[in-house]
Amino acid sequence: MASISALQAARSQYQPKLPKTLQGPVVAVEGKATQSVGNQAEIKELFPNTYGMPVITFEAGAQPKLEPFNVGIILSGGQAPGGHNVISGLFDGVKSLNPQNKLYGFILGPGGLVDHKYMEITPELMDQYRNTGGFDIIGSGRTKLEEVDQFEKGIQILRELGIKALVIIGGDDSNTNACVLAEYYAAKKYGVQVIGCPKTIDGDLKNEQIETSFGFDTACKTYSELIGNIQRDCNSARKYWHFIKLMGRSASHIALECALQCQPNICLVSEEVEAKEMSLDDVVTYIAQAVANRAADGNNFGTVLIPEGIIEFIPAIKKLIAQLNDILATPEAQNLGRSEQIDFVKAHLTKDNLAVFNSLPTSVARQLALDRDPHGNVQVSLIETEKLLSTMVAAKLDQWKKEGKYVGKFGTQHHFFGYEGRCAAPSNYDADYCYSLGYNASRLIANGKTGYMSVIKNTTKPAAEWIAGGVPITMMMNLEKRNGKMKPVIRKALVELDGAPFKYFASKRDEWARQTAYVYPGPIQYWGPSEVCDQTTKTLQLEQA
């Protein structure tokens, strides 16, 4: 490991807080049988051994004595602040059950399980990574666990290492894979448990049981510091409009949270764009009007927050992308060169979708038509939406100037905040929350559970009052089209337009659009008054109020 900073050295001494329930022996209290959020019959058929299990809540009680056992852990997908604390919580949890228990980490994600690449996590190693950002203790990867030969290769190494349970830390797709693996091992009676942990900075892995995914708090605070810095610069120079794209392909939780923290002039919310059936020109006109209004007050500067996935929420473009996905999933399309693929796509689009395709800037059209991520989705982070929108706003303002509707100057700067937030040192909230998730996973293992996700609730209260337990992963699943086929996946949580966070934002945005009402949150605070250091996201505060 690289040399550590003074902050990291001091931070390593921080002892994360645990729910009172987890501070001693526990018993699992079972609720009612559950069902999936959609496609109940199909999901039940696909997961007969792990469907319908009850929600678990832990209460203080007598923990039965257990024989020594080993546990494996996997970091899957993109990084999120707090991953190391999930591991340290799990490590401390399994050691508290029996000091002879061992924790093995599989290297570079699920691929490490399949390829039998692993390392034992020792006390000395663990102590170097407590309360640190990143996933570098064992690395992460995006190998999808979907095939029987992968499951069988996995069980070989799990048996060789004497591993009783596997904990997979990941987002919705990774936890879907965890559920598939749990079902397979249960059906085969292999005796290996699989537990998931909810991770994604995007904030779209949440529901009635999961209050928030870990990393969202820290990432939003990191981005908000950067946005606040830009806003202060913006308010000092007073000559640029800053177009700031933020991570959030499938939902606008990050953009909305950063808006609540920073009070920018404009924040686009993808879900609202879709609900109002706004066209690309509607979005551009909305921004341009705000620019013109501020210019009329003598303010030729401002900030615009843009979720990276917004282009997929514009209804006409969403319909185009849906057909593009189907076309590109065909064997004929996959065997063509890139230039041939464009011609093939255009030849198979409907008349309306072709018109939309031809109306887009060439670079954007090519991006939509060619590159896909491992899930078959458009790689929207590669589309420079912030530049696309600012260019179109500039053109509209030029037209308005000719018509005498706009008098002002429009200079622009562009930013995309993504990787800057994924490996930040976790906030106190994420340090505590993640440690509790990992520790709680050890109790799910001790109670013989499989196919469950570790959950910690009531997190706007002091940590001692947090509620620990587990929720069946099948409860969150439905069927969705991926790479041209219907597959079981965890349903993503979108911004709810009738939810308290969006309603509060909507009540303030007209004021923020015209005035310079910026808030400068500053860096994450680790030491000091609790109201400064331990605060949750504005989103969670509003949801739980």
Residue reference for tokens 């198979």: 348
Residue reference for tokens 């950067």: 226
Q: What is the DSSP letter of 333?
A: H
- Give the residues across from 415 on adjacent strands: 244
CA atoms of 390 and 243, how far apart (whole Å): 7
Residue 401: CB atoms within 10 A of its CB come to 14
CA atoms of 235 and 3, how far apart (whole Å): 38
DSSP 239-272: --EEEEEES-SS--HHHHHHHHHH--SEE--HHH
Quick one: tokens of 288? 């341009």
- Give the residues across from 72 on adjacent strands: 104, 166
Sheet holding 193-198, edge to edge: 26-30, 56-60, 467-472, 452-457, 193-198, 163-170, 70-75, 102-106, 118-120
Residue 343: CB atoms within 10 A of its CB come to 11
Q: Would residue 127 show up in a list of annotated catalytic residues for this protein?
A: no
CA atoms of 223 and 258, how far apart (whole Å): 7
Q: What is the DSSP letter of 65?
A: P
CA atoms of 336 and 323, how far apart (whole Å): 18
CA atoms of 394 and 292, how far apart (whole Å): 11
Q: Is 256 exposed, middle or buried (0-12, 13-18, 19+ CB in 10 A)?
A: buried
> Rounded to the nearest 10 degrees, what angle do helices 351-359 and 315-328 cross at?
110
Q: Are 221 and 99 in contact (CB under 8 A)?
A: no
CA atoms of 398 and 59, how far apart (whole Å): 65
DSSP 336-361: S-HHHHHHHHHHHS-HHHHHHHHHS-
Catalytic residue among 173, 202, 430, 534: 202
Phi, psi of 484 (to 5 degrees): 80, 0
* Own/partner long-range contacts of 460-463 (Cβ < 8 Å, ≥24 apart): 460/536, 460/540, 460/541, 460/544, 463/17, 463/18, 463/19, 463/432, 463/436
Question: From the centroid of its chain, how far is CA 298?
Answer: 39
CA atoms of 502 and 505, how far apart (whole Å): 5
Catalytic residues: 202
